[in-house]
Chains A and B, each alone.
Chain A
Amino acid sequence: MSLIWYYRNRIIESKYFRQNVRSKPDFPDIVRDFSKQVYEHAYRVLGNVEEAEEATQDVFLRIHRSLHSFRGDAVLSTWIWKITLNVCLTRRERLETMRRRRDPGDILEMHLPGDKSENAHEQVVRREQAEAVGRTISRLPQREATVITMFYLQEMTYAEISEILNIPPGSVATVLHRGRERLRKLLIGQPDEESHEV
């Protein structure tokens, strides 16, 4: 009986193994292809370099540990993104708790001009403003920060975001609009009526 089990398991395993060899990429390739995206997302959502670096390492550790169990029934990038979002969510929740205990911090206020900058000085100002917008993303609620980062920085489509977050594309548009509006209010220093839930 044990021999039958042995050969049965052996057949199943070899089949599974062949399948994975065909569909699974190498870990160094994943690091090469996804490290920038994962880091950028973590940085924008978490708002600081140390947290982003730790989150990125955490993501790749998890990828490395579970790569053998990746069945290939989802697109690799979707699988990696889901891991990234989970790691960032956990870290953000922890950061939010710490932030709530401390002083709410300075409110970033910015004059938002309507016209495009023309000269060099205005370009520098504009770049600083863009960087400030980038920093402010981490102050948005988790979902809005995630969608804004995915849409504007990772340049994903509504369909891609909806697949990764498992929400309808219409909801992606709604979250994006809500996030952008909240961002606008934060930047002009207008109080936000809605609560800042994570």
Chain B
Amino acid sequence: MKCDEIRKRIDEAYVPKRRTSLPPDVGLHLRSCDQCRSYCESLRTVEELLIEIPRVSPSPVLLNRLREIGGRDRVASPAPGRKLISWAHGMYLAGGIAAVVLSALPASLPTLLLSFALLVTALTTVSVHLLRRPLLGR
């Protein structure tokens, strides 16, 4: 029981990576108790060995593989399955075609306005597509 208390106090006094100064009564007990002294020593040794663990580094092969992960996307085209054009852009494109068809019909004010609106959306589609930055329907 006494040894259990002493070990508890050793644990409490113990600060990792620092030299631990034990209370005098604990020190006194350690001088007379082999088991507690051994506990204290093994605790200190584990701490020292933890600090001395040899460091490991990734192999050059692994490092190359990791660098390749980053390099893959720079030259990559759109990933398989990725749409070249979104549904919204498709609608704009359909609008543009409709505008061309409407402009071929006999001219009237509503037809002209509709054609103009559709033409604007079609131009927007083209510019967005050229920028290759799909914004909608992603």
Contact = CB atoms under 8 A, between A and B. Distances in A.
- Are A and B associated in one complex? yes
A2 B88 contact: yes
B54 A152 contact: no
Contacts of A57: 62, 65-66, 69
A26 B56 CA distance: 25
A181 B10 CA distance: 12
Contact of A36 (B43, B58, B135): B58
B70 A39 contact: no
A177 interface: yes
Interface in B50-87: 50-59, 62-63, 65-67, 69-70, 73
Interface of A: 2-3, 5-6, 9-10, 13, 26-28, 31, 35-36, 39-40, 43-44, 53, 56-57, 60-61, 64, 112-114, 116, 126-127, 129-131, 133-134, 148, 151-153, 176-177, 180-181, 183-184, 187-188
Contacts of A43: 56
B124 to A, nearest CB: 7
Q: Is the interface of B mostly helix, strand, loop or mixed?
A: helix
Given A180-B46, A184-B42, A53 B67 contact: no
B129 interface: no
Given A28-B70, A35-B66, A153-B53, A112 B46 contact: yes
A61 B66 CA distance: 8
Contacts of B120: 3
B138 to A, nearest CB: 9
In terms of DSSP, what is the predominant structure of the interface of chain A? helix
B47 A180 contact: yes
A13 B135 contact: yes
B52 to A, nearest CB: 4
Contacts of B92: 2
A9 B135 contact: yes
Nearest to B133: A13
A114 B46 contact: no
Contact of B55 (A112, A126, A153): A153
Interface in B18-64: 38, 41-59, 62-63
